[in-house]
Amino acid sequence: MGRAGVLQVLALLLVSRAGADVSGDEAREAAAVRGLLTRLLGPRAAAGFSVSVERALAPAPDADTYCLSGGGGTPVQVTGSSGVAAAAGLHRYLRDFCGCHVAWSGAQLRLPEPLPEVPKKLIEITPNRYRYYLNICTPSYSFVWWGWERWEREIDWMALNGINLVLAPVGQEAIWRRVYLTLGLNQTEIDEYFTGPAFLAWGRMGNLHTWGGPLPSSWDLKQSYLQYQILERMRSFGMKPVLPAFAGHIPKAFTRVFPQANVTKLDNWIDFNCTYSCSYLLAPEDPLFPVVGSLFLRELAKEFGTDHIYSADIFNEMDPPSSNPAYLAATTAAVYEAMVAVDVDAVWLFQGWLFQNHPDFWKPPQMKAVLEAVPRGRFLILDLFAESQPVYSRTNSFYGQPFIWCMLHNFGGNHGLFGVLDAVNRGPSTARLFPNSTIVGTGIVPEGINQNEAAKMGASRKGLFALLVGLMYRVKPLPFAQQQTLVWVTGEIRSHLLQTLLVNDSGLISIPSFSFGI
Ligand SMILES: *[C@@H]1O[C@H](CO)[C@@H](O)[C@H](O)[C@H]1NC(C)=O
Ligand SMILES: *[C@@H]1O[C@H](CO)[C@@H](O)[C@H](O)[C@H]1NC(C)=O
Ligand SMILES: *[C@@H]1O[C@H](CO)[C@@H](O)[C@H](O)[C@H]1NC(C)=O
Ligand SMILES: *[C@@H]1O[C@H](CO)[C@@H](O)[C@H](O)[C@H]1NC(C)=O
Ligand SMILES: *[C@@H]1O[C@H](CO)[C@@H](O)[C@H](O)[C@H]1NC(C)=O
């Protein structure tokens, strides 16, 4: 199936969501962007902008568009086909017309007066239906101790970068606790199963249990409340939060309650022994599989609502007990069927990391078995490390399943100004030109944030994360000079750090010198 076919399949899902109250949604999303504007610039400067949301601005339902005009003594007009499109337009204006920079670590927001004129109506249409954000690991490396204030700033950053699809894993342990209690496990057993807060990312993927636990008793309530705030704000901008689904991992105590259950004990994960890893996986043909999966999703959707896209990773960095394609297909299908039993519109977001991480196991028959076990268009694959080792190019574009071209770039939140600039610049457009490409978006999936957030190089916007999010509204790569100047603005110390970066023939950055202050 070509890209058009995939988009058609996905468009069906859009139609089922296209409510009658479009103008109500437009007004709500515009109000969310006005709120962002006021938080960012303060009420006085915000009054210099006029923000509106008009669905009709987009030439197609999945082609988010923004339009800029005005300024130079009159209000700057920012119109978007959605809240996130309007916010992306606002960001474009602040960055390219005002020299501002909004980054993870802070912001430079000295506005010229009067606000510069947009000489001629500027319209930008994204080629990316989805602009995706977050790795399963990011919440553990970077967000675990955040309260609402920092989350609010992050969601504003997402909106400004036009992100419309994002993981929303917070608060899921409260739902799991409810499900396990319903199934007959007791509090002690559940407490022994969960990892501590900082390790939940790996607990959620079945890599770890128990390590650093138990969770504090205040955790469930506080995280649920936080998740309510997060989801409400994301949805107000028109973003789709991705909630978790059941991937098959169960606590050991499940076998006490259901001694007949068919479970497989997986191997240990990296250097952890079986006290902390070696997850139990419920067999796909066990009649309890759909029971647990549906119970969880129903409780979750009842609590938090749903946008119909769910995340689940079964074999992240853990080899399956069998490489038999029939086993892999059954395991995959069981996860999907438990989703669809609760939500007929369910789409499964899946990190393609395993294929890249262990190619000796994941040969074409194994990958094909997984990718073809779910109806086309109902899988949404993250090509997680596409800037270095893309998987789409060796799987005929994920055998017809839609995918998102993602830049991972850092492991464990490691710092350092480095990166494959040229691969990031050209990667998405190359993927779009791939024969029968099924690309439906681009994404950034850093394991940790707060690094490489350079704003501007020379006259145009570059630097790694800024580069990729800047590209999300472009069809073609940016033209590159061999040597560029990078201005890095840190919000914490409000000083400028001027660096000269060399971009060599391999498109790699090196740093010959840097000095503080300008
Ligand atoms: C939970 O069940 C285990 C196994 O039967 C038992 O040893 C433990 O005392 C129980 N804990 C509670 C709080 O009931
Ligand atoms: C498992 O690892 C932990 C921590 O590294 C260690 O304390 C414990 O003795 C190990 N258990 C076994 C059974 O090897
Ligand atoms: C248990 O599950 C495995 C893996 O799916 C399957 O091969 C096996 O036949 C099952 N055993 C029973 C007794 O159902
Ligand atoms: C692209 O898809 C068409 C139609 O299914 C098929 O005939 C063609 O071989 C595909 N091209 C490549 C390069 O896979
Ligand atoms: C480009 O720069 C990288 C990073 O500094 C370096 O490792 C690489 O050897 C350079 N390549 C060329 C062709 O100069």
Q: Is the domain of 490 the same as that of 381?
A: yes
Q: Which atom of ligand 4 is nearest to the CA of 1?
A: 5
Q: Is the domain of 360 the same as that of 468?
A: yes
Give the model's confidence band at 499: pLDDT under 50 very low, under 70 low, under 90 confident, else very high: very low
Alpha carbon of 361 to ligand 3 centroid (Å): 21
Give the model's confidence band at 215: pLDDT under 50 very low, under 70 low, under 90 confident, else very high: very high
Q: Is the domain of 379 the same as that of 492?
A: yes
Give the model's confidence band at 494: pLDDT under 50 very low, under 70 low, under 90 confident, else very high: very low
Q: What pLDDT is attached to residue 453?
A: 65
Question: What percent of the chain stands above pLDDT 90?
Answer: 75
Mean pLDDT of 236-256: 98
- Nearest residue to 133 (alpha-carbon basis) of 238, 241, 209: 241
Q: Is the domain of 405 the same as that of 421?
A: yes
Domain tally, the chain: 2
Q: Is the domain of 120 the same as that of 149?
A: no
Tokens of residue 64, six digits: 């988010």
Q: Model confidence over 319-328: pLDDT tens digits? A: 999 999 999 9
Q: What pLDDT is attached to residue 102?
A: 87
Contact (Cβ atoms closer than 8 angstroms) between residue 51 and residue 78:
yes
Please provide the average confidence, as pLDDT, over all residues in the chain.
87
Looking at 95, 125, 155, the residue that finishes a domain is 125
Q: Is the domain of 60 the same as that of 133?
A: no
Q: What pLDDT is attached to residue 78?
A: 98
Q: What pLDDT is attached to residue 466?
A: 63
For residue 115, tell me if it sits in a domain.
yes
Q: Model confidence over 410-445: pLDDT tens digits? A: 888 876 666 666 777 789 999 999 999 999 999 999
Instruction: Match 């036009």 to its residue by tokens.
Output: 162
Alpha carbon of 312 to ligand 4 centroid (Å): 30
Q: Is the domain of 145 the same as that of 64?
A: no
Ligand 3-lining residues (CB < 6 angstroms): 262, 283-285, 327
Q: Is the domain of 445 the same as that of 403?
A: yes
Alpha carbon of 466 to ligand 1 centroid (Å): 51
Tokens of residue 46, six digits: 């915000």
Ligand 3, atom 11: nearest CA belongs to which residue? Answer: 262
Which sign does the torsion angle of CA 41, 499, 420, 435 carry?
A: positive
Alpha helices in 242-395 (DSSP H): 254-257, 288-304, 325-342, 353-357, 364-371
In DSSP terms, 379 is beta-bridged to 348
Contact (Cβ atoms closer than 8 angstroms) between residue 352 and residue 396:
no
Q: What is the DSSP secondary structure assignment for residue 508, as one 8-state letter?
A: B
Q: Which residues contact 148 (CB under 8 A, 6 or more apart)?
A: 226, 229
Q: Is the domain of 372 the same as that of 483?
A: yes
Question: What percent of the chain stands above pLDDT 70?
Answer: 82
Q: Is the domain of 50 the same as that of 158?
A: no
Q: Model confidence over 25-78: pLDDT tens digits? A: 999 999 999 999 999 999 999 999 999 999 999 999 999 999 999 999 999 999
Domain that holds residue 86: 26-125
Alpha helices in 464-503 (DSSP H): 464-471
Looking at 76, 109, 125, the residue that finishes a domain is 125
- CATH classification at residue 55: 3.30.379.10
Tokens of residue 332, six digits: 């995959």
Give the model's confidence band at 465: pLDDT under 50 very low, under 70 low, under 90 confident, else very high: low
Alpha carbon of 216 to ligand 1 centroid (Å): 19
- Residue 463 pLDDT more than 90? no
Q: Is the domain of 76 the same as that of 132?
A: no
The three state secondary structure string of 190-210 is HHHHCCCHHHHHHHHCCCCCC
For residue 473, tell me if it sits in a domain.
yes
Q: What whole-number distance in Å separates Cα of residue 317 and Cα of residue 270?
A: 8
Q: What whole-number distance in Å separates Cα of residue 76 and Cα of residue 111?
A: 13
- Residue 129 pLDDT more than 80? yes
Q: What whole-number distance in Å separates Cα of residue 396 and Cα of residue 381?
A: 13
In DSSP terms, 102 is beta-bridged to 107
For residue 216, tell me if it sits in a domain.
no
Q: Which atom of ligand 5 is nearest to the CA of 418?
A: 4
Q: Which atom of ligand 3 is nearest to the CA of 262?
A: 1
Mean pLDDT of 124-149: 96
